[in-house]
């Protein structure tokens, strides 16, 4: 489900990702509240006009949605 990166529950952040034939192929870690969180599982990924979304799970079993917007070269992060 698309969401706006301007919502109060989102955060513009840094995401480390694997990039093969294209950038942002799969995220491996990201920064959240001053901590580096490793991605242990990608539960889903999809593309929309806003960009490329990933629903990911971390070591602490937290679930996040990451959005990469290539038009502005920016990642947005939302805890779900």
Nearest CA to 59 out of 41, 44, 72 is that of 41
pLDDT at 61 over 80: yes
pLDDT in tens, 27-59: 999 999 999 999 999 999 999 999 999 999 999
pLDDT average, residue stretch 6-27 = 76
In the block, which residue shows the tokens 């779900």?
80
Q: Which residues of 14-53 are buried (b: 16+ CB within 10 A; e: fewer)?
A: ebebeeeeeebeebeebebeeeebebeeeeeeeeeebbbb
């Amino acid at each position: 489900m698309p969401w706006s990166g301007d919502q109060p529950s989102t955060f513009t952040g840094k995401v480390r990702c694997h990039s093969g034939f294209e950038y942002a192929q799969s995220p491996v870690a990201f920064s959240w509240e001053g901590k580096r969180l490793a991605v242990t599982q990608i539960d889903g990924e999809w593309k929309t006009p806003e960009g490329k979304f990933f629903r990911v799970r971390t070591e602490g079993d937290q679930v996040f949605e990451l959005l990469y917007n290539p038009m502005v070269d920016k990642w947005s992060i939302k805890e779900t």
